[in-house]
Amino acid sequence: MRKAKAKLRSSHIGLKVRDIIKELTNGQSVNPTYWSFKSTLNLVINDQLITLTFKPVRSAFTINLVWGPQALPMNYLFSDPYGRVIMSLRDNEIIISCDGGNLLIDLTDSTTWIPRTLKPVSNCRTLSPNLIIKASRTLRGLASIVGCGIGNEVISAIKNAARRLARTSLENYAEFLHELIKSLGLGDGLTPGVDDFLMGAAGTYNALIRLGVVKHQRFSVSFSELLRRTNTLSAMMIEESLGIGLNEGIDGAAVSHATQDYDGLINSLITLLGLGHSSGYLQALGSLTTLCLSSSDSLSLGDCVRNVFP
Amino acid sequence: MPPSIREEVEKANAEAVSRLMESEPYWVGMGVAEKVIPGLKGMKLLHAGPPITWERASGPLKGALIGAVIYEGWADSPEDAERLLRREEVVFEPTHHYRAVGPMAGVISPSMPVFIFKDLKYGNEAYSNMNEGLGKVLRYGAYGSEVIRRLKWMSDVLYPVLEATIKEIVRDNGKGLNFKNIIAQALHMGDECHNRYVAANSLLLKEIAPYMFSTGIDRGDILEAYRFIAKNIIFPLNMGMAAAKVMTLAAHGIEYSTIVTVLSRNGTDVGIWVSCLGNEWFTAPAPVPKGVWFPGYSERDANPDLGDSSITEAAGFGGFAMAAAPAIISYVGSTVEFAVENTRRMYEITYAKHKYFTIPYLGFQGTPTGIDLRKVIKTGITPTINTGVAHKKAGIGQIGAGIVTFPIEPFKSALRRFAEKYGL
């Protein structure tokens, strides 16, 4: 059978990926673990996650690809999950060979994407609770129009966790996030619903700490704990979102809050909806829950979940 | 209980796409632009894509505007023409504001002959200029003497022949030429009807030839016109675009509808219209197409994408129907697999499969029809089309052809406006 060959251009390459790729100049990576879908290929190389995607959402561990004349869906090439895969770098071109054929990624025009939440914001002034609640209403309306639904079991799990800690303030927010970990893996999809909500909530919380909006301890959880609760890929994505591997939607939401940019917040929420299905919507709800709690000392977790959640 | 906005959107989109598919685009006449296009008066030119200033205009658009000023006799030299344009003594506005469309730079000037298309079901009219052929042509920004000479010939010889021909057709059947039928048939004969019109051109000539020869016009002129059309395999493009414009007009302006009714580029920006948001442009910088280059040129010479021709994709054919036209890959530098996969990918962002435009290779499925803003946002997939590529400098012309994917930003801005309009 003739082997397929796809040649793609990269528009953006995440900060972390650039470093991982550099290591390939000294050799090859053989048989990385991978998950392939139509628009996205997730690879794990030396315990590091790399996402190659046609979707226009950037992150530090993502290589964004342009759908062009030599493109093919990812699962067209990577159809055998047990097949042999060899990845190497040559002349600014990543070459991924698999049983289905060859994928060549031209990095020549690729711009490095750097999260905006890497450094603190000077003269931080945050959005008011009213604006965060208004943004939540807009998000819910848009999610309904776009057709992003959430399973009832996911809503119940998140609301139950919040109910148990309804009086929690931002100071004790980590308790709520730890409570959510007990429900990881709940929901449909590659990244189950509760996992997505945690990515948004905890990712935004840690981003606000980096930006200097919140003066608490960074939230963390061991990878082995995540793996006990959910699938490998989702666990890796949660781990990334807690650090600088958060996606541009969560990154943008945190920065918009810290710079009183309401338009920027709405744009970031729309970006998150582009993650598809319910993932982006739940990440956005998680992010808004955190932003709401950080917007006023007088609001409790219970107040925020009531206002933000559908 | 009143319907939710989501229900309203569903209902509106079903109506919009139904109207788009059921519209009946007929070629009904020819006319001089200033006499038939309402509002095109004085020293005004029309151009493809969203509004643009002279300062921000791309090389090929500037070239085409300069050429049109010379063609109209408003200036004798490119320098004088540029001065008039820079001082806004000659103004230029988007074709879409006048229900007109033009490929590439899309420049239509007041004395240019245009096709008149009418939707016999919903009554909308649309206009497009006549196609000059490939290579050094006005629409790619060339304005040399041979370009102006060809335009004059088109006005003096081709236009009277076509005007008399369409009059004969209307006299015979009382309607005009059904262009939807030509597109539907051409899709079964290896065209996708954006950059490949080989079959459509033969079908067109087969339809019009008997009427051409019964017009009573000098046979020499008829033969010249016939040969020009037969040699120019892209001749029906402008007609296909005018047909697509009346189809999308039928879907435009429907309250709550999130169907994209204009998809266009001016060489600097891309722009879209959404049915329920009226004539408001949502724009972003235009990308440079990826493709194949004529000898001596490369991507470094290429201008960002331009033209109204993506109205074909908005109407459910063109690049969205590439699975019907594997032979186009040699023109745009792609693969047969891509042609098929691109059509499959576009199903993910469209509301329906076309009732009348079908693709044999895909089991006669309908083409992806009705770009739905909601699906673009949800999937992150944006329209991918095929296109010609112009040199970035004015006066040179076409240097290649390729594939281009629209940026996501205009769709995000449109969704934002939707939220504002409906109080979300």
Instruction: Indicate the DSSP class of residue A241.
Output: H
Which residue, among B335, B413, B420, would best test binding to A if mutated, counting the most A CBs under 10 Å from its CB? Answer: B335
Q: Provide the ipTM.
A: 0.93
The pLDDT assigned to A30 comes to: 72
Residue type, A165: L
Chain B neighbors of A273, CB-CB under 8 A: 377-378
As a whole-number percent, the residues of chain A with pLDDT over 90 amount to 65
pLDDT of A29 above 80: no
Cβ within 8 Å, pair A144-B4:
yes
- pLDDT digits over A53-90, tens only? 999 999 999 999 999 998 988 888 887 767 778 888 88
pLDDT of A167-188, one tens digit each? 989 999 999 999 999 999 998 8
Mean pLDDT along residues A291-296: 94
Indicate the pLDDT class of residue B1, thresholds 50, 70 and 90.
Answer: low
Instruction: Note whether A270 contacts B: Cβ–Cβ < 8 A.
Output: yes
Nearest CB partner across the interface for A138, out of B338, B377, B424: B424
B-facing residues of A in 121-180 (CB < 8 A) are 137-138, 141-142, 144-148
Query: What does the pLDDT look like over B271-295, one tens digit per residue?
Result: 999 999 999 999 999 999 998 999 9
How near does any CA of chain B get to the CA of A216, in Å? 34
Checking if the pLDDT of A1 tops 60, the result is no
Model confidence at B303, pLDDT cuts 50, 70, 90, reads very high
Q: Which helix (H) or strand (E) holds B411?
A: helix B409-421
Residue-wise pLDDT for A260-285, tens only, equals: 999 999 999 999 999 877 899 999 99
Answer yes or no: do B416 and A137 touch at CB < 8 A: no
A101: which chain B residues are within 8 Å (Cβ-Cβ)? none
Number of H-type helices and E-type strands within chain B: 15, 16
Q: Which amino acid is at B185?
A: Q
**Tens digits of per-residue pLDDT, B330-342?**
888 889 999 999 9
pLDDT confidence tier of residue B420, bands split at 50, 70 and 90? very high
Q: Tell me the shortest Cα–Cα distance from B413 to chain A, in angstroms.
A: 8
For B29-65, give the DSSP string.
EEEEHHHHSTT--SSEEEESSS---TTT--HHHHHHH
What is the overall mean pLDDT for chain B?
Answer: 96
Radius of gyration of chain B (CA): 20
- Cα B151 to Cα B61, B72, B157: the distances in Å are 17, 10, 10
Using 50, 70 and 90 to split pLDDT, how confident is the model at B132?
A: very high
Q: Among partner residues A141, A266, A271, which is closest to B5 by beta-carbon distance? A: A141
Chain B environment of A270 (Cβ under 8 Å): 377, 412, 415-416
Q: Which of A51, A64, A145 to mutate against chain B (most B CBs within 10 Å)?
A: A145
Nearest CA in chain B to A280: B378
> What is the distance in angstroms between the Cα of B260 and the nearest Cα belonging to chain A?
15
What tokens appear for B311 in the block? 């109205």
pLDDT class of A2 with cuts at 50, 70, 90: low
Q: How far apart (Å, rounded) are the C-alpha atoms in residues B260 and B370?
A: 7
Contact A148 B378 (CB under 8 A): yes
A133-151 pLDDT tens trace:
999 999 999 999 999 888 8
Say if the Cβ atoms of A67 and B9 lie within 8 Å.
no
pLDDT digits (tens, 9 = 90+) for A203-244: 999 999 999 999 999 999 999 999 999 999 999 999 999 999
Q: What is the dihedral of CA B170, B176, B177, B178, to 10 degrees?
A: -150
pLDDT at A310: 67
Mean pLDDT of B406-417: 97
Mean pLDDT of B54-79: 97
Convert the pLDDT of each residue in B135-166 to its tens digit.
Answer: 889 999 999 999 999 999 999 999 999 999 99
The residue among B53 and A81 whose pLDDT is bigger is B53
Closest residue in A to B340 (Cα–Cα): A72
| Mean pLDDT in residue range B225-232 | 97
Task: State the Cα–Cα distance between residues A235 and A284, nearest whole angstrom.
Answer: 18
CA nearest to B333 within chain A = A69
pLDDT at B2: 67
Chain B residue with minimum CA distance to A56: B380
**Contact with chain B for residue A281, Cβ under 8 A:** no
Which amino acid does the sequence have at A11?
S
* Rounded Cα–Cα distance for residues A126 and A133 (Å): 14
